[in-house]
Structure 1
């Protein structure tokens, strides 16, 4: 286990300690869990999809999406 020193506003520390106590865990564990939730690679910027959003992801092909964008552009030009 490595030790980490952070500089944090004292008010934020108090709020974090109170939250950690409510969650019945240490502030160190709270910070560790947060750090574990960060993406593991620099290239991973997209959020992880869950639930209905994950079920719907990829349902429209890139070609259909491009066609829809073109049609939206056409309608915007037509009715402006």
Structure 2
């Protein structure tokens, strides 16, 4: 159910918002509704790990001194020789 809301805003902001809404083919009301919705939206739960990913967990063992950045650098050097 939609309700009316009266806001007091700086006139420059109102004009800028109207221009933005018009250039994006959206009403000013929908623009503000979308913005307020994004501000007040509760964070969604992080996605659950799928059974496939769980089954793959621990398949590869990496040495404690393994340097990912160094290995990637070496990979790029070889790739672009």
> How does the TM-score come out when normalised to structure 1?
0.48
Larger radius of gyration: 2
Q: Which has the higher helix share?
A: 1
